[in-house]
């Protein structure tokens, strides 16, 4: 397995200096840096070249994550919105290809976070999403990109909440480059069993996000059974990507969207920029070492 981290662990605003993190995460013990697909289509050629080179120099693989805007919702009943979504992904896939990114996942079958104040019809939205995902998958395949359908908790999405729903969706799309994506934060809310959910996804599992129940980095002494999860991943023969997606900082658009209303960073939130970042770095370093040891030690 390869182990990674989402860049927004260090950020209060979506977006950021990916070049900086591409150079950083390898030193902390990660194999992967996951970046946001937002605005990638606007990246200039020199930025693309420099980011790809920095990742290569650091021995780090790049992956992409995204929660589409309402205007990029492929499940929408509005053909103008769907057209805009395909135009967004056409630009984005081109840049992902230039960056050497072969995996992009998230709630890309709909939009995020869902506005539950607006009416929706799950059955009809699913039908549109599946049919449009077939087309989107073909576009992605031209660039060698696999798409991960992330099951999200009920407070952030409604189309896919469980591993079983994700598997049903993936089978309905029927494309080799469309896979199930699970996340322990969402699983902790929606699944009866982490282990059963992983077994349900089985060979269709294509990407795995991890974090504690409160979205802190994985650690000893938390509520998540990391040893059990490791065993389940080995049961299904999973050798793919494992990316932690912790959110611990208050403030900014990230804190607002993720609902971080208290400092969860062991005081790094209140330190000056350099000191706070070093504290976050050290926590990330300890976490990936713990996960690597737990998951690799769980082989049967």
Q: Which active-site residues does the annotation give?
A: 150, 245
Secondary structure E strands in 75-132: 103-106
Residue 1, SS3 per DSSP: coil
DSSP element (H, E) containing 112: none
- Strand, helix or coil at 152? coil
Tokens 């350099």 correspond to what residue?
274
Containing H/E element for 242? strand 241-244
C-alpha dist (Å) from residue 174 to 2, 105, 228 = 26, 17, 30
Whole-angstrom Cα distance, residue 203 to residue 8? Answer: 29
Angle subtended at Cα 106 by Cα 257 and Cα 77, rounded to the nearest 5 degrees: 85
Measure the CA–CA gap between 222 and 155, rounded to whole angstroms.
23
Q: In 118-248, where does DSSP find H-type helix?
A: 122-141, 163-173, 184-190, 194-201, 226-235
Whole-angstrom Cα distance, residue 54 to residue 267? Answer: 30
Q: How far does the chain reach from its first CA to its final CA, in angstroms?
A: 14
């Amino acid at each position: 397995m390869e182990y990674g981290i989402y860049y927004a662990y260090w950020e209060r605003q979506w977006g950021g200096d990916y070049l900086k993190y591409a150079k950083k995460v390898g030193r902390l013990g990660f194999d992967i840096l996951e970046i946001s697909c937002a605005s990638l289509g606007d990246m200039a050629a020199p930025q693309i070249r420099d980011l790809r080179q920095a990742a290569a120099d650091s021995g780090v693989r790049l992956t992409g994550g995204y929660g589409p805007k309402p205007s990029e919702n492929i499940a929408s009943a509005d053909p103008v919105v769907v057209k805009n979504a395909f135009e967004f992904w056409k630009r984005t896939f081109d840049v992902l290809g230039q960056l050497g990114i072969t995996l992009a996942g998230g709630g890309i079958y709909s939009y995020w976070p869902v506005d539950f104040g607006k009416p929706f019809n799950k059955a009809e939205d699913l039908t549109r999403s599946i049919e449009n995902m077939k087309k989107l998958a073909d576009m992605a395949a031209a660039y060698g990109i696999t798409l991960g359908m992330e099951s999200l908790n009920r407070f952030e999405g409604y189309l896919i909440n469980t591993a079983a729903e994700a598997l049903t969706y993936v089978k309905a799309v029927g494309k080799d480059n469309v896979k199930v994506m699970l996340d322990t934060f969402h699983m902790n809310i929606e699944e009866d069993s982490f282990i059963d959910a992983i077994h349900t996804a089985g060979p269709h599992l294509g990407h795995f996000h991890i974090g504690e129940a409160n979205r802190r980095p994985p650690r000893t002494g938390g509520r998540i059974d990391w040893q059990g999860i490791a065993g389940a991943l080995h049961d299904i023969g999973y050798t793919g990507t494992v990316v932690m997606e912790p959110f611990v900082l208050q403030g900014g658009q990230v804190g607002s969207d993720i609902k971080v209303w208290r400092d969860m960073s062991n005081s790094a939130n209140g330190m000056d920029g350099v000191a706070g970042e070093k504290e976050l770095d050290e926590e990330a370093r300890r976490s990936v070492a713990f996960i690597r040891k737990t998951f690799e030690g769980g082989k049967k």
